[in-house]
Chain A
Amino acid sequence: MTAFECPTIVSPTIVSPWLGEIRLDPECEIYFPAGLPGFEEERRMAPVEIPAQRPLLYLQSVERARVCFVALPVYVIHPGFRLDISDIPDDERILLGLTGGREAVIGEDVLCVVLLMPSRDSVQVNLNAPIVVNLHNQRAAQIVRPGATPDVWRLSAENGWAPLC
């Protein structure tokens, strides 16, 4: 199997220990051709939302029920966030199929989310490691720019989302 072939859907449902039973719809599935850093074998993820928890988004692995991430759209954390196509390393641009030369618009062409990490009694994110989903082919990759230092934002009662100094 080449890196560009989506695997065949075998199971119509997955029972997540965190989210319960999820009915899989191949049209909803996100395909990570190279997995995620640290989870290179996780290629197929189902994005799941619980309405009462919007705007939280869960990324539930289709192949390993225990693997599930909590994510937020980048705009929720930093409305001024920008991601230029030139920021995306060549390898990831090819994996995503963003090779047309046109700028990708967040929301129209790509979805941009970040994973939430525990941080003492709150959560934090690294805005320099967003997950980009090409909405035209549902291929995704986590973008890590060469030489970029982590841009960590933490959620606090005092400041809401704010960058860590």
Chain B
Amino acid sequence: MLRRRPGESIAIGADIEIEVMEISRTRVKLGVRAPREIPVLRKETLAVAAENRQALELVSAFSTAHNGPSACASGTRGVAETLRLLAAAANQEKTLEFAPAAPICFAGDIPGIPNEAPLASDVSRNRENPEPRQDAGPLSL
């Protein structure tokens, strides 16, 4: 255990320094100097970092469906079922489908969102785009 006052630091090895910057009644403000390759995270975000790495795998599974059933038969069945469930959960009649080419820019309503809580797309449409755009591109906030 080490006891430090504001303005004092501790060193971990030669490259990492932690400075006590400020102490209030309930909080301590710390400044960390560390090499760029060492992530400095609050501990509770570690589990989320692992979840995010898992989340990254999903898009490649979805892309397998895009490439057709021959790419990965069992994986495709799972993704197809997931898309059906996603559509059902959003109260849509049609199963979600993969577009074969570039994504399309949208500025329209997102199904399943209550009108009293408009999302970014609504805000954008009302402010700048009177009609949803038909061309390809990223979502306009």
Contact = CB atoms under 8 A, between A and B. Distances in A.
Given A68-B59, A144-B44, A155-B82, A49 B120 contact: no
Contact of B63 (A17, A40, A55, A117): A17
B139 A157 contact: no
A146 B42 contact: yes
A67 B44 CA distance: 23
Interface of B: 39, 41-42, 44-63, 66, 77-78, 81-83, 85-86, 88-90, 92, 94, 96-99, 101-106, 110-114, 117-120, 122-123, 136-141
A121 B90 CA distance: 19
A133 B120 contact: yes
A37 B89 contact: no
Given A76-B113, A107-B113, A155-B82, A21 B55 contact: no
Interface stretch (A2-10, A24-32, A96-104): A24-32
A70 B58 contact: yes
Report the interface size class on chain A.
Answer: 35 or more
A133 B103 contact: no
Contacts of A133: 120, 141
B16 to A, nearest CB: 16
Contacts of A36: 52
27 contacts: A23-B136, A27-B141, A38-B49, A39-B52, A46-B139, A48-B139, A50-B98, A50-B99, A52-B94, A55-B113, A58-B103, A67-B56, A69-B58, A70-B58, A73-B110, A76-B90, A107-B118, A107-B119, A116-B55, A118-B58, A121-B82, A122-B78, A123-B58, A133-B120, A142-B45, A145-B44, A160-B88
B59 A56 contact: no
A111 B119 CA distance: 6
A155 B140 CA distance: 28
Contacts of A54: 90, 92, 96, 106, 110-111
Contact of B97 (A22, A53, A72, A150): A53
A50 B63 CA distance: 13
Contacts of B117: 75, 105-107
Nearest to A109: B123
Given A52-B96, A79-B114, A160-B88, A144 B42 contact: yes
Q: Closest 10 interchain pairs by CB?
A: A38-B49, A37-B49, A47-B139, A121-B78, A115-B55, A20-B102, A46-B138, A37-B45, A52-B97, A38-B52
